[in-house]
Chain A
Amino acid sequence: MTERSNSLSEWLEARLPVITAFRREYVNFAMPRNLNYLWNFGAFATIALGLLILSGIFLALNYTPTVTEAFASIEMIDRQVSSGWLVRAIHMGGVSMLFVSLYVHIGRGLYYGSYKAPRELLWLTGLGLLLLVMTTAFAGYILPWGQMSYWGATVVINALNALPVIGKPLAAWLLGGEGLGNTALHRIYVLHFVTAFSIIGFVVLHVAALHVAGSNNPTGIEPAKTDDTVPFHPYYTTKDGLGLCLFLMVYAGLIFFAPDILTLADNYAQANPLVTPRDITPEWYFAPFYAILRAIPSKVGGLLLAAGSLGVLFAVPWLDASPVRSARYRPILRIALPILFLAFIALGAAGMHPPTGFWLWISRIAVAYWYLYFLVLLPYLPLVEISKSPPSSLQEPRG
């Protein structure tokens, strides 16, 4: 009998080798030893996503997806459901924390060339995740049925309608025919759920792709010797753990001490199709794309420009002609890329302001630089830029 109980793990191992798989991928997994704290943001995004899904399930238990009841059910969650205010705050704060993590994570990938061969699929699955998260966030923001929910959705659906050929059928498919009403709200609720759970599947793909190619590192040089790497546990479990604690402290500070900055006050007024708010402002994480949407005086043009700004990201592994991965060794890119990050932040600020005068020109300059960076600088910069030669080992100190 003892022999049997001893071999329970062997029994499992012979049928489904999860224990060795876990050991291989999360305990002994070889990680470059020189990762900086920017490599924590993937873990941050995963934790934020987990908290979003968990809190979302509890919110769904008390939410009613009808035009007459939606707003009241959110008020009930915030006021009468026990700890409902906490669950809702975790959910609302989680979205912002997830987007911050994703944007930093993507920015890190751009800076250290994490998209280059052999990590193209890692990059593409990551961008797929971003699109799914954006769809989920857009659908989720409509659910409370406040003024900004309603009018934000109206802006996006009008933009969809302007798309040639597919626009009208797509909008009709989302709305169910009768405008932004009960059918639409129910569909958007289902969309929110379906995309939220699809994200988990995409995360699995993303992580699987990561475990094939392994992590990039700040030098962009593949680990060559065995002492270039350290096992994931205990080195990166402790480093990620420390980072996560600090991440959760920011998250907690947001939901417990600054809950008002998570939501626009207008969304505490129930949706009223007869009253248009003075300014329709998006949530901060959509603001850069909203600014691009309004940067040129054409609906279709703005929409194509906004979609294209994400589209160029998908082409980055093939647009970048330089063989050097890390921007550390590319003197011009090292300046051009932070300017791109600034352009993104400027677009975000412009998206929160009415598109006139100063802010309109800021968004035009920023969007022009966005396209210049991806379509001109990435492919043609290597022709003129003289890269420094990367060190021979990733352990060499920075020079």
Chain B
Amino acid sequence: MKRFFIATLLLAGGSVHASTPEQRGFQVFRQICSSCHSLNYVTYSDLTGLGISVPDIKSYASQHQVPDGLDEDGDPKTRPAHPSDHIGSPYPSESMARMANHGGLPPDFSRLALTQEGGSQRIIHILESYTSAPAGATLPPGAFYNTAMPHLHIAMPQPLHDGQVKYTDGTTATIPQMANDVTAFINWTARPHLQARHRTGIFVLAYLAGLAALLGILKHRVWKRLKTLE
């Protein structure tokens, strides 16, 4: 048994560096998106669901300050975030977020893959559709040229640039690579228990199918009595 545990630990330890798309996406979120976008309903400790280790989560949380009531003079206090705190917004309030972004509010990432029309494919498409504006195109102030948008402009400046992130697993950080990874992460925040849901579902369905087969046989036997009685 002990050997089994050690072997499992070694296997688990060995797989730390082989990042999943979601883990790489989290790296993109952490280094790029989170400077404007919020994750209002996801806590730091939820990231264990991505396979991020507890020490990493603690150190990530402690880099952020969260409000902590008032001190004795009545001034607002802050403290480093705990893993149980929400990742939240980089801005202290919605109006501050709008002020910093030409009046637009960077959407929250918690359920974006569900609420965004077109879902995650649309998010990838937007991230990959930044080009320089053709000559003669006029853009409203604070807008950027993007061919995925119906009016060809978007309030978000181009977020991804080749080589912008240095992936810990050595993957080359091209724009399509980062767009796919960060969307995998956004998919995970929108459906955080999808894997557990599918695993449980297969087990439940297999159990019920077995039970249905047994009950089918039982029902057949019981009802056969009526025919033999006649």
Contacts and interface: CB of A to CB of B under 8 A. Distances in A.
Contacts of A246: 212
A145 to B, nearest CB: 13
Interface string B201-226: 11011001101100110110011001
Contacts of B115: 265-266, 268-269
A242 B216 contact: yes
Contacts of A256: 197-198, 200-202, 204-205
A252 B222 contact: no
A252 B206 CA distance: 11
A238 B212 contact: no
Interface residues of B, number: 33
A253 to B, nearest CB: 7
A213 B105 CA distance: 63
Contact of A242 (B43, B202, B219): B219
Contacts of A72: 40-41
B212 A245 contact: yes
Interface stretch (A49-57, A74-82, A200-208, A282-290): A74-82
A265 B114 contact: yes
Interface of B: 40-43, 45-46, 110-111, 114-115, 190-193, 196-198, 200-202, 204-205, 208-209, 211-212, 215-216, 218-219, 222-223, 226
Interface of B is mostly: helix
A238 B200 contact: no
Interface residues of A, number: 32
25 contacts: A75-B110, A79-B46, A79-B192, A85-B193, A85-B196, A86-B197, A89-B197, A235-B223, A238-B215, A238-B219, A238-B222, A241-B215, A241-B219, A242-B215, A242-B218, A242-B219, A249-B208, A249-B209, A255-B201, A256-B200, A256-B202, A256-B205, A265-B114, A268-B115, A268-B190
Given A72-B41, A234-B222, A235-B223, A252 B111 contact: no
Interface of A: 33, 72, 75-76, 78-80, 85-86, 89, 230, 234-235, 238-239, 241-242, 245-246, 248-249, 252-253, 255-257, 259-260, 265-266, 268-269
Contact of A249 (B110, B205, B219): B205
A252 B219 contact: no
Nearest to A234: B222
B194 to A, nearest CB: 9
Contacts of B191: 259
